[in-house]
Amino acid sequence: MFELITLPYAPDALQPAISAETLAFHHGKHLQTYVNNLNAAVAGTPFEGKSLEEIVRSAEGGIFNNAGQILNHNLYFTQFRAPRENNLPVGKIAELIDAQFGSFDAFKSEFAAKGAGLFGSGWVWLSADAQGKLVITQEGNAGNPVAKGLKPLLTFDVWEHAYYIDYRNARPAHIAALWQIVDWDVVNERLA
């Protein structure tokens, strides 16, 4: 059985980037529904007992959608911490970003543009490929880079449910606010 992850911070810890009300709906309602749906859908199928990554790499339809959304949200919710001013990358990820994109600002611009420019619902991802090179990709709906053989490091959810309570239709403003809550230590742990 899949279970709803516990948030590693208080419900109001990410304000003002993400409000407690948004977290209550996004984690407590949307993610819980994906968990309930997947548990019901895999019962009695070959996917029962498989990991989320295994399911995402091989399933289709409703099982893929719900497993993908659980995997995506588990990565999303565990990569944040309380807001910090001037929240810059550190360690290995900082070195790789500077080497490949030229600067953190250049990286942020490309990542934000791909998030804001994704048509409809989906996710923008920073991943590492098999050679350790960083790649920014857009994934529609429940897509996750593991299905392309990439290692996901950081993701911004650009489904409207992620920002509509706090930002209404202003997706770029929401994306801009998320940089102050990214936990770069978690990103480095995923990179290792």
Residues interacting with Mn ion, by CB under 5 A? Answer: 157, 159, 162
- The CB-of-159 to Mn ion minimum distance in angstroms stands at 5
**Closest to 144 (Cα-Cα) out of 32, 82, 51:** 51
Residue 65 neighbours by CB under 8 Å, 6+ apart: 141, 142
- Nearer Cβ to Mn ion (32/100): 32
- Nearer Cβ to Mn ion (89/111): 111
Task: Give residue number: closest CB to Mn ion.
Answer: 157
- The CB-of-101 to Mn ion minimum distance in angstroms stands at 26
Round to whole Å and give the CA distance between 36 and 3: 8
72 sits in which H/E element: helix 61-77
- The CB-of-26 to Mn ion minimum distance in angstroms stands at 6
For residues 56 and 64, the answer to whether their CB atoms sit within 8 Å is: yes
Q: First and final CA of the chain: distance in angstroms?
A: 28
92 sits in which H/E element: helix 91-101
- The CB-of-180 to Mn ion minimum distance in angstroms stands at 19
- The CB-of-118 to Mn ion minimum distance in angstroms stands at 13
- Nearer Cβ to Mn ion (96/159): 159
- Nearer Cβ to Mn ion (34/47): 34
- The CB-of-55 to Mn ion minimum distance in angstroms stands at 18
**Closest to 5 (Cα-Cα) out of 61, 56, 72:** 72
Round to whole Å and give the CA distance between 51 and 71: 10
**Quick one: CA torsion of 106, 111, 115, 116, rounded to 10 degrees?**
0
- Nearer Cβ to Mn ion (26/81): 26
- Nearer Cβ to Mn ion (76/184): 76
